Chain A
Amino acid sequence: MTRSLPTAAPEEVGLSARQLERISAALVHEVEQRRVPGVSALVARRGKVAYFETFGVRDPAVAQPMVKDAIFRIYSMTKPIVSVAAMMLFEEGRFLLSDALAKYIPDFAGAKVGIERDGRFELVPAARDITIQDIFCHTSGLTYGFRGNSAVQKLYQQLGAQMRGKSAAEFVAALAKLPLMYQPGSRWEYSHATDVLGRLVEIWSGMSLGDFLGQRIFKPLDMVDTGFHVPETQLPRIAEPFAKDPDSGAPIELLDLRHKPAFESGGGGLASTTLDYARFSQMLLGNGSLDGERILGRKTLEYMTADHLNGLPGTFDLLVPGYGFGLGFTVRLHTGVASTPGSIGQYSWGGIAGTTFWVDPAEQFYAVMMIQAPHARVHMRALFRDMVYAAIAD
């Protein structure tokens, strides 16, 4: 069992118990409406957990209740963890953000950009090298196959189908052969870049990504249930989705966590628990350290959670209005503009199965919500965030 975090009554940390009860009621309502099978939600402020509740079922197939130590596929919430891992190596001087990606993965030298012009597909040389900073910020020109159906994205979709059972090194080498979707540094585009970053962590450290994360982050932070697969004895703790998407009726297929994967995906491969991710979030809020274990220096964390885009455009559904992007997190730039509340400097990310978290340094505040319901993710994240911010009472 993960070492827990200190707890407090809501009022002790400036949160409204009444509003937290309303959050519970709203989450119960979502379960009752069969929008999500189950929810686990945690809110902490000033270093203390003031709210940690579960609702609904852990696995709709067997109708067992959701539990606090349920294990969730966190998908893209893997990215902040891998970005922190890479920045630990940055602190050791192993690389510079201005370094060309090709310095470490030569397959990326001479990258080409795929352009569709008058119905024809052309390859043009990249105007500049992809840098390591581009890899952290999703400005490399790489994309994801599931993000659209451009000619380049169709090539990505084919690659995805071919890469089952391949290692991160093999995947990244194959990725480097595909054209870029955009010129490096010209645009924010959500992408496999963090898979590339995971591979870079392996190259820089000489360890597998899983071993590096285990030794340098999970062990010191006591995130005992976070990893690229779930040990056999813990399989009954895995939270599962509905069999079918309630909106489309299509079957929902999520990552199989039962076996050690050949490809430890830095962009989306981790499983974790609410409390493990809360400990990671508390380390972030604690300026890089938790319980005396220093993961990063505070200036490194400030640098990671500052905007690095400087107004560069991006796809608005993920780089939402009011936000920029730092080194592994989206970062709030304005108090207004965005469609959910948050302080300037708040940083966050989510996973495609619906998990979400944010850290708000100005309010000394973070929250984690876990669900396995891809269809409900956009609504649930906004609902949870709106209601949790309303609980701040001082």
Chain B
Amino acid sequence: MRMSHRVVWLAAALWLAPLAIAPAQSLPLGKADELGFALARLARSTETLKANIDQHDIPGAVLLIARHGKIAYFESMGALDPQGKAPMAKDAIFRIYSMSKPITTVAAMMLFEEGRITLDEPVGKFIPALAKPQVGVEKVDGAGGAATLELVPAKRPISLQDLMRHTSGITYGFFGDTPVKKRYAEANLFEGDFTNAEFVERIAKLPLAYQPGTTWDYSHSTDVLGRVIEVVSGKSLYAFEKERILDPLGMTDTVFYVTDEGKQGRIAEPFANDRSIGAGATFNDPRRAQKWESGGGGMVSTASDYARFLQMLLNGGTLDGKRLLGPKTVAFMTSDHLGSAIVPGPYYLPGPGYGFGLGFAVRRDSGVGTANSSVGEFNWGGAGGTAFWVDPKEDMLVVYMMQSPSKRTHYRAMLRDMIYASLVK
């Protein structure tokens, strides 16, 4: 009698388990082998991640692979917080940093589809402080003295297209130490509790690192784009994104600040000694709400939420009957916008074999790149260790979440190589 009770209880638990574990809005579950993956090969990714977690290389990870609209693989491994005992969970919340940028860019392109912005418009039309930018040019004294910064007027205005493809001349203080980048690093850009409008005013006081439209350089451009969305829509960036993207797609755990105490226990954490995300910047605490809604890097999300966002893109702008963008707009965004005239800057994060579209790196060649992919694949990652890619040719998307900034480059490449190795049909 006891036995049979236990069996019934177990059967009920097994039956309920998927419902209990799967977040409310995920993608439909599929079978990996039926979706074209060799199971033994896919298992090698799990084994490698688990072995690396056991060796304390990374604290924990969530990996989600979807193909043909269905989840082929969705696993969580290791610890949610290496300082605690809780295991990593599929619904863990990660600081996605620069993976905010594609969401901001999609939001802007929704306004583009409505005719409220065009890509050639100068950003100064919406943010007057950026109407007449100056470019910082390094002058080296012939006698070997210190380099000085000379300011020259920009040859043309910064366009909205420049903001979306990182060719505005605006930069980041994180990469490199040219005089302009030093000015960024020393400008106390992140001091106090400031709004997007105030942040953009701070950016506008700094010189550009390059003439607009000449050089790809990773930058605060997407923060400026977030402010443009606010000016055009009359709403805060989050209010606009919630109404137009996050709610329609059911991305209920994607926010700038986790003020819901019930969700705060789901936030994944890095190792204590691996909290730096670049020169002077450390992991933020998303539990502490601030005014700043950084379109360039302020969001947190889950693997399921982000997978729904990517599936919308892979479907040409629609998911579960909710259309966010037209397919031609998605194709336009995921085409290379650099061409041959725009040169890659010295920290060209897309890497060899890639161009850049509107918000995404876009693969130009099957080869050349240092990790495996298809032509037309588009991707981006976050400084905290998260990454994604979408491969339209293979009808596939991958979301990889971890909080381990120092290991981000290695895991992005390794997982690409291993996941593509397991695709056999």
- List the interface of chain A (C-beta within 8 A of B): 90-93, 96-98, 131, 133, 287-289, 294, 296-300, 302-303, 306-310, 324, 326-327, 331
Q: What separation, in Å, do the CA atoms of A90 and B419 have in the docked complex?
A: 11
User: Ordered nearest first, which 3 A-B pairs have the shortest CB separation?
Assistant: A306-B367, A306-B366, A91-B421
Give the chain B neighbours of A326 by CB distance below 8 A.
367
CB proximity of A128 to chain B, nearest CB, Å: 12
A298 and B424 contact, CB distance less than 8 A? yes
In the assembled complex, 25 residue pairs joining A and B whose CB atoms fall closer than 8 Å, in A order, are: A91-B44, A91-B417, A91-B421, A93-B417, A96-B370, A96-B413, A97-B370, A98-B371, A294-B41, A297-B41, A297-B420, A297-B421, A297-B422, A297-B423, A297-B424, A298-B424, A299-B372, A299-B420, A300-B420, A302-B374, A303-B366, A306-B366, A310-B365, A310-B368, A326-B367
Q: What separation, in Å, do the CA atoms of A194 and B418 have in the docked complex?
A: 23
Give the chain B neighbours of A331 by CB distance below 8 A.
367
Q: What separation, in Å, do the CA atoms of A300 and B414 have in the docked complex?
A: 13
B424 and A98 contact, CB distance less than 8 A? no
- Of A310, A324, A326, most B-chain CB atoms within 10 Å: A310
Q: A91-B41, A303-B372 are in contact. Are A96 and B417 (CB under 8 A)?
A: yes
Known: A92-B48, A297-B41, A306-B365. 4 other contacts (CB 8 A): A299-B372, A299-B394, A307-B367, A327-B367
B38 and A98 contact, CB distance less than 8 A? no
Q: A297-B421, A299-B423, A303-B420 are in contact. Are A98 and B368 (CB under 8 A)?
A: no
A307 and B368 contact, CB distance less than 8 A? yes
Q: What separation, in Å, do the CA atoms of A326 and B394 have in the docked complex?
A: 21
Give the chain B neighbours of A96 by CB distance below 8 A.
370-371, 410, 413-414, 417
Q: What separation, in Å, do the CA atoms of A298 and B352 have in the docked complex?
A: 22
Closest to B391 in A: A299
The 8 Å CB contact of B424, one of A92, A294, A303, A310, is A294
Which B residues between 386 and 414 are near A, CB-CB below 8 angstroms? 394, 410, 413-414
Say what secondary structure dominates the interface of chain A: loop
Give the chain A neighbours of B353 by CB distance below 8 A.
310
Give the chain B neighbours of A306 by CB distance below 8 A.
365-368
Closest to B409 in A: A98
CB proximity of A360 to chain B, nearest CB, Å: 17
Give the chain B neighbours of A298 by CB distance below 8 A.
423-424
A308 and B371 contact, CB distance less than 8 A? no
CB proximity of B367 to chain A, nearest CB, Å: 3
Give the chain A neighbours of B417 by CB distance below 8 A.
90-91, 93, 96, 300
Give the chain A neighbours of B366 by CB distance below 8 A.
302-303, 306-307
Which B residues between 217 and 250 are near A, CB-CB below 8 angstroms? none
Q: A297-B41, A297-B421, A302-B366 are in contact. Are A93 and B372 (CB under 8 A)?
A: no
Q: A91-B41, A91-B418, A96-B414 are in contact. Are A308 and B368 (CB under 8 A)?
A: yes
Closest to A302 in B: B366
Q: What separation, in Å, do the CA atoms of A327 and B366 have in the docked complex?
A: 12
Give the chain B neighbours of A309 by CB distance below 8 A.
368
B44 and A92 contact, CB distance less than 8 A? yes
Give the chain B neighbours of A289 by CB distance below 8 A.
424
The 8 Å CB contact of A294, one of B38, B352, B373, B415, is B38
Closest to A88 in B: B421
Give the chain A neighbours of B352 by CB distance below 8 A.
310
Give the chain A neighbours of B415 by CB distance below 8 A.
93
Give the chain A neighbours of B424 by CB distance below 8 A.
287-289, 294, 297-298
Q: A93-B48, A303-B367, A308-B367 are in contact. Are A98 and B421 (CB under 8 A)?
A: no
Give the chain A neighbours of B414 by CB distance below 8 A.
93, 96
A297 and B44 contact, CB distance less than 8 A? no
Q: What separation, in Å, do the CA atoms of A300 and B421 have in the docked complex?
A: 6
Q: What separation, in Å, do the CA atoms of A90 and B352 have in the docked complex?
A: 19
CB proximity of B358 to chain A, nearest CB, Å: 24
Q: What separation, in Å, do the CA atoms of A195 and B424 have in the docked complex?
A: 30
A296 and B365 contact, CB distance less than 8 A? no
Give the chain B neighbours of A296 by CB distance below 8 A.
421
Chain B 133-177, CB-CB to A under 8 Å as 1, else 0, gives: 000000000000000000000000000000000000000000000
Closest to A96 in B: B413
Q: A91-B417, A98-B413, A297-B423 are in contact. Are A133 and B370 (CB under 8 A)?
A: yes
B420 and A92 contact, CB distance less than 8 A? no
Closest to B413 in A: A96
B370 and A98 contact, CB distance less than 8 A? yes
Closest to A137 in B: B367
- Of B365, B372, B420, most A-chain CB atoms within 10 Å: B372
CB proximity of A387 to chain B, nearest CB, Å: 30
CB proximity of A142 to chain B, nearest CB, Å: 19
Give the chain A neighbours of B410 by CB distance below 8 A.
96
Chain B 15-33, CB-CB to A under 8 Å as 1, else 0, gives: 0000000000000000000
CB proximity of A382 to chain B, nearest CB, Å: 26
A93 and B370 contact, CB distance less than 8 A? no
B372 and A300 contact, CB distance less than 8 A? yes
- Of A92, A97, A297, most B-chain CB atoms within 10 Å: A297
Q: What separation, in Å, do the CA atoms of A385 and B129 have in the docked complex?
A: 66
CB proximity of B357 to chain A, nearest CB, Å: 19
Give the chain B neighbours of A133 by CB distance below 8 A.
370
CB proximity of A362 to chain B, nearest CB, Å: 14
CB proximity of B109 to chain A, nearest CB, Å: 30
The 8 Å CB contact of B421, one of A299, A307, A324, is A299
CB proximity of B309 to chain A, nearest CB, Å: 24
A93 and B374 contact, CB distance less than 8 A? no
CB proximity of A243 to chain B, nearest CB, Å: 43
Q: What separation, in Å, do the CA atoms of A90 and B424 have in the docked complex?
A: 16
Give the chain B neighbours of A98 by CB distance below 8 A.
370-371, 413
Give the chain B neighbours of A324 by CB distance below 8 A.
367
Give the chain A neighbours of B423 by CB distance below 8 A.
297-299
CB proximity of A47 to chain B, nearest CB, Å: 17
Give the chain A neighbours of B413 by CB distance below 8 A.
96-98
CB proximity of A300 to chain B, nearest CB, Å: 5
B367 and A93 contact, CB distance less than 8 A? no
Give the chain B neighbours of A93 by CB distance below 8 A.
44-45, 48, 414-415, 417-418
Give the chain A neighbours of B422 by CB distance below 8 A.
297
Q: What separation, in Å, do the CA atoms of A274 and B234 have in the docked complex?
A: 72
Q: What separation, in Å, do the CA atoms of A181 and B352 have in the docked complex?
A: 23
Give the chain B neighbours of A308 by CB distance below 8 A.
367-368
CB proximity of A93 to chain B, nearest CB, Å: 5
Q: What separation, in Å, do the CA atoms of A298 and B366 have in the docked complex?
A: 13
Closest to B352 in A: A310
Give the chain B neighbours of A90 by CB distance below 8 A.
417, 421
CB proximity of A94 to chain B, nearest CB, Å: 9
Give the chain A neighbours of B374 by CB distance below 8 A.
299, 302
Give the chain A neighbours of B44 by CB distance below 8 A.
91-93
CB proximity of B398 to chain A, nearest CB, Å: 13
- Of A299, A310, A326, most B-chain CB atoms within 10 Å: A299
Closest to A297 in B: B421
Q: What separation, in Å, do the CA atoms of A309 and B353 have in the docked complex?
A: 10
Q: What separation, in Å, do the CA atoms of A331 and B410 have in the docked complex?
A: 28
Give the chain A neighbours of B45 by CB distance below 8 A.
93
- Of A303, A310, A326, A327, most B-chain CB atoms within 10 Å: A303
Give the chain B neighbours of A294 by CB distance below 8 A.
38, 41, 424
CB proximity of B132 to chain A, nearest CB, Å: 38
